[in-house]
Amino acid sequence: NKFDEVYSKEVKRSKRYNNELSMIIFDIDDFKMVNDNYSHQIGDDVLKEIAKIIQNGVREQDINVRWGGEEFLILLPQTNLEGAQIVANKINNTVFEHLFTEKQLKLSANFGVSELKEEDDEKTFMSRVNKLLFESKNRGKSVVIAR
Protein backbone atom coordinates (compact mmCIF):
# COMPACT_ATOMS: atom_id res chain seq x y z
CA ASN A 1 0.00 0.00 0.00
CA LYS A 2 1.02 3.56 -0.70
CA PHE A 3 1.42 4.56 2.93
CA ASP A 4 3.76 1.65 3.71
CA GLU A 5 6.07 2.79 0.91
CA VAL A 6 6.08 6.38 2.11
CA TYR A 7 6.52 5.29 5.73
CA SER A 8 9.46 3.07 4.88
CA LYS A 9 11.05 5.84 2.82
CA GLU A 10 10.63 8.43 5.60
CA VAL A 11 12.12 6.11 8.25
CA LYS A 12 15.11 5.39 6.02
CA ARG A 13 15.56 9.07 5.15
CA SER A 14 15.36 10.06 8.80
CA LYS A 15 18.07 7.55 9.70
CA ARG A 16 20.31 8.33 6.74
CA TYR A 17 20.31 12.11 7.24
CA ASN A 18 19.85 11.99 10.98
CA ASN A 19 16.60 13.99 10.70
CA GLU A 20 13.89 13.92 13.31
CA LEU A 21 10.70 12.02 12.48
CA SER A 22 7.62 11.81 14.67
CA MET A 23 4.32 10.00 14.41
CA ILE A 24 0.86 10.58 15.81
CA ILE A 25 -1.83 7.92 15.84
CA PHE A 26 -5.24 8.92 17.11
CA ASP A 27 -8.71 7.56 17.11
CA ILE A 28 -12.19 8.88 17.64
CA ASP A 29 -13.82 7.79 20.88
CA ASP A 30 -17.11 5.90 20.65
CA PHE A 31 -17.19 6.15 16.86
CA LYS A 32 -19.21 2.95 16.56
CA MET A 33 -21.93 4.66 18.61
CA VAL A 34 -22.13 7.46 16.02
CA ASN A 35 -22.71 4.93 13.24
CA ASP A 36 -25.18 2.90 15.32
CA ASN A 37 -27.17 5.84 16.72
CA TYR A 38 -27.23 8.09 13.68
CA SER A 39 -26.19 6.35 10.46
CA HIS A 40 -23.17 5.43 8.43
CA GLN A 41 -23.74 8.60 6.42
CA ILE A 42 -23.34 10.71 9.56
CA GLY A 43 -20.29 8.55 10.44
CA ASP A 44 -18.80 9.32 7.01
CA ASP A 45 -19.48 13.02 7.48
CA VAL A 46 -17.68 12.92 10.84
CA LEU A 47 -14.65 11.29 9.18
CA LYS A 48 -14.61 13.97 6.46
CA GLU A 49 -14.72 16.72 9.09
CA ILE A 50 -11.88 15.02 11.01
CA ALA A 51 -9.85 14.88 7.79
CA LYS A 52 -10.40 18.63 7.36
CA ILE A 53 -9.31 19.29 10.97
CA ILE A 54 -6.11 17.31 10.33
CA GLN A 55 -5.50 19.15 7.05
CA ASN A 56 -5.72 22.47 8.91
CA GLY A 57 -3.53 21.25 11.75
CA VAL A 58 -0.53 19.95 9.83
CA ARG A 59 2.06 21.26 7.37
CA GLU A 60 2.18 20.46 3.69
CA GLN A 61 5.07 18.00 4.10
CA ASP A 62 3.30 16.04 6.84
CA ILE A 63 1.73 12.79 5.71
CA ASN A 64 -1.64 11.80 7.05
CA VAL A 65 -3.82 8.78 6.35
CA ARG A 66 -6.93 7.15 7.66
CA TRP A 67 -5.66 4.07 9.41
CA GLY A 68 -8.53 1.65 9.80
CA GLY A 69 -12.09 2.52 10.77
CA GLU A 70 -11.73 5.55 13.01
CA GLU A 71 -7.97 5.70 13.38
CA PHE A 72 -5.77 8.31 11.77
CA LEU A 73 -2.02 8.37 11.43
CA ILE A 74 0.15 11.43 10.88
CA LEU A 75 3.82 11.24 9.99
CA LEU A 76 5.78 14.41 10.76
CA PRO A 77 9.18 14.60 9.04
CA GLN A 78 11.78 16.89 10.63
CA THR A 79 9.69 17.17 13.77
CA ASN A 80 10.77 16.21 17.27
CA LEU A 81 8.57 14.81 20.03
CA GLU A 82 7.78 18.24 21.41
CA GLY A 83 6.70 19.54 18.01
CA ALA A 84 4.54 16.47 17.40
CA GLN A 85 2.93 16.85 20.82
CA ILE A 86 1.99 20.44 19.96
CA VAL A 87 0.31 19.23 16.74
CA ALA A 88 -1.52 16.44 18.62
CA ASN A 89 -2.74 18.85 21.32
CA LYS A 90 -3.97 21.28 18.66
CA ILE A 91 -5.93 18.55 16.84
CA ASN A 92 -7.20 17.19 20.16
CA ASN A 93 -8.52 20.62 21.22
CA THR A 94 -10.08 21.29 17.83
CA VAL A 95 -11.88 17.93 17.82
CA PHE A 96 -13.06 18.52 21.39
CA GLU A 97 -14.46 21.99 20.60
CA HIS A 98 -15.94 21.09 17.20
CA LEU A 99 -19.63 20.29 16.74
CA PHE A 100 -19.78 17.54 14.15
CA THR A 101 -22.32 17.35 11.32
CA GLU A 102 -25.80 18.80 11.36
CA LYS A 103 -26.40 16.64 14.44
CA GLN A 104 -23.97 18.91 16.34
CA LEU A 105 -22.20 15.93 17.91
CA LYS A 106 -19.55 16.40 20.59
CA LEU A 107 -16.70 13.96 20.08
CA SER A 108 -13.29 13.34 21.53
CA ALA A 109 -10.16 11.51 20.46
CA ASN A 110 -7.15 9.81 22.00
CA PHE A 111 -3.56 10.17 20.85
CA GLY A 112 -0.30 8.26 20.93
CA VAL A 113 2.74 10.32 19.91
CA SER A 114 6.39 9.35 19.59
CA GLU A 115 9.64 10.21 17.88
CA LEU A 116 11.80 7.79 15.91
CA LYS A 117 14.71 6.68 18.07
CA GLU A 118 18.14 5.58 16.90
CA GLU A 119 17.49 1.92 17.73
CA ASP A 120 14.04 1.90 16.10
CA ASP A 121 13.06 0.19 12.91
CA GLU A 122 9.71 0.60 11.14
CA LYS A 123 8.06 -2.06 13.30
CA THR A 124 9.26 -0.91 16.73
CA PHE A 125 8.36 2.72 15.98
CA MET A 126 4.83 1.85 14.84
CA SER A 127 4.38 -0.56 17.70
CA ARG A 128 5.39 2.02 20.35
CA VAL A 129 3.00 4.65 18.98
CA ASN A 130 0.17 2.09 18.98
CA LYS A 131 0.94 1.17 22.60
CA LEU A 132 0.87 4.84 23.58
CA LEU A 133 -2.52 5.22 21.89
CA PHE A 134 -3.78 2.19 23.81
CA GLU A 135 -2.42 3.68 27.05
CA SER A 136 -4.14 7.00 26.35
CA LYS A 137 -7.47 5.22 25.78
CA ASN A 138 -7.10 3.53 29.16
CA ARG A 139 -6.69 6.93 30.81
CA GLY A 140 -9.96 8.39 29.56
CA LYS A 141 -11.03 10.62 26.71
CA SER A 142 -9.14 13.45 24.96
CA VAL A 143 -5.82 12.18 26.28
CA VAL A 144 -2.52 12.78 24.46
CA ILE A 145 0.42 10.61 25.51
CA ALA A 146 3.75 11.57 24.01
CA ARG A 147 6.85 9.59 24.84
Residues tagged active-site: 70
Task: Tell how strand 109-115 and strand 144-146 pair up.
Answer: parallel
| C-alpha–C-alpha distance, residues 117 and 125, integer Å | 8
Q: SS3 breakdown of the chain: % helix, strand, coil, rounded to 5?
A: 50, 20, 30
Q: Are 58 and 92 in contact (CB under 8 A)?
A: no
Q: Give the sign of the dihedral formed by CA 131, CA 34, CA 1, CA 55.
A: negative
